[in-house]
């Protein structure tokens, strides 16, 4: 395996970085909001499932009223 000099490495990194298609500010904002909404929905879902399972376990063990 050929050794790469630090200068060559930096040059190759810059070449690869130039090929990247960076998202626009709008795309980033939309993606961020989408992720936050989905995280909130997942939190609500798991909270409800946890409450349902907790109720079920209390009912089975005879501790529920």
Residue 30 lies in a domain: yes
CA 18, CA 28: separation in Å to the nearest integer? 19
- Would you state the pLDDT for residue 2? 72
Task: Yes or no: say if 39 and 33 are a contact pair by the CB < 8 Å rule.
Answer: no
Range of the domain at 37: 25-65
Query: Measured between alpha carbons, how far is 32 from 64 in angstroms, rounded to an integer?
Result: 41
The reply to whether 11 falls in a domain is no
Q: How confident is the model at residue 64 (pLDDT cuts 50, 70, 90)?
A: low
59 within domain boundaries: yes
Give start and end residues of each alpha helix (H) in the chain.
6-19, 25-61
Which pLDDT value is given to residue 26?
98
- 58 inside domain: yes
* Residue 7 lies inside a defined structural domain of this protein: no
Domains in the chain, number: 1
Dump pLDDT digits (tens) for 3-44: 889 899 999 999 999 999 999 999 999 999 999 999 999 999
Residue 20 forms part of a structural domain: no
């Amino acid at each position: 395996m050929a050794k790469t000099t630090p200068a060559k490495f930096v040059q190759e990194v810059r070449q690869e970085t130039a090929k990247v298609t960076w998202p626009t500010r709008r795309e980033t904002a939309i993606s961020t909001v989408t992720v936050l909404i989905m995280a909130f929905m997942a939190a609500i879902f798991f909270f409800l499932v946890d409450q349902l399972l907790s109720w079920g376990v209390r009912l089975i063990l005879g501790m529920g009223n």
